[in-house]
Amino acid sequence: MTFSIQPVDTALKAAVTDKIDNLTKPKGSLGRLEELAARICLIQQTLTPELRHPHNVLFAADHGVIAEGVSVSPKEVTWQQLGHFSKGGAGINFLCDQHGFRLVLVDAGVDYDIPAGHGIIDKKVRKSTRNFRHEAAMTAGEFRLCLERGAEVIDEIHDSTGCNIVSFGEMGSGNTSSSSMWMHLFTGIPLKQCIGAGAGLDSAGIRHKYEVLSDALSRYDGDDSVESKMAWFGGYEMVMAVGAMLRAAELGMVIIVDGFIMTSCILAASRLYPAVLDYAVFGHQGDESGHKLMLENLGVRALLHLDLRLGEGSGAVCAYPIIESAVRMINHMDSFKDVNVTKYF
Give the residue numbers annotated as catalytic, written as ranges: 312
Buried b (16+ CB within 10 A) or exposed e, 91-102: bbbebbeebebe
263: CB partners within 8 A, 6+ apart? 257, 282, 291, 294, 295, 298
Q: Can you say how many angstroms the Cα of residue 2 is from the centroid of all Cα atoms in its chain?
A: 20
Most distant CA pair in the chain, distance: 71
Q: Can you say how many angstroms the Cα of residue 85 is from the centroid of all Cα atoms in its chain?
A: 18
Sign of CA dihedral 110, 113, 115, 116: positive
Rg (CA), the chain: 20
Half-sphere exposure for 141 (CA within 13 Å, toward CB): 2
Name the phi and psi angles at 125, rounded to 5: -90, -40
Distance CA 126, CA 176 (A): 20
For residues 258 and 314, the answer to whether their CB atoms sit within 8 Å is yes
Burial of 223 (0-12, 13-18, 19+ CB in 10 A): exposed
Closest CA to 328 of 28, 26, 37: 37
The 8 Å CB, 24+ separation contacts for 225-232 are 226/186, 226/268, 226/271, 226/272, 227/140, 227/143, 227/272, 228/140, 229/182, 229/185, 229/186, 230/143, 230/182, 230/268, 231/136, 231/137, 231/138, 231/139, 231/140, 231/142, 231/143, 232/132, 232/136, 232/137
Instruction: Give the H or E element holding residue 184.
Output: helix 175-187
Half-sphere exposure for 202 (CA within 13 Å, toward CB): 1
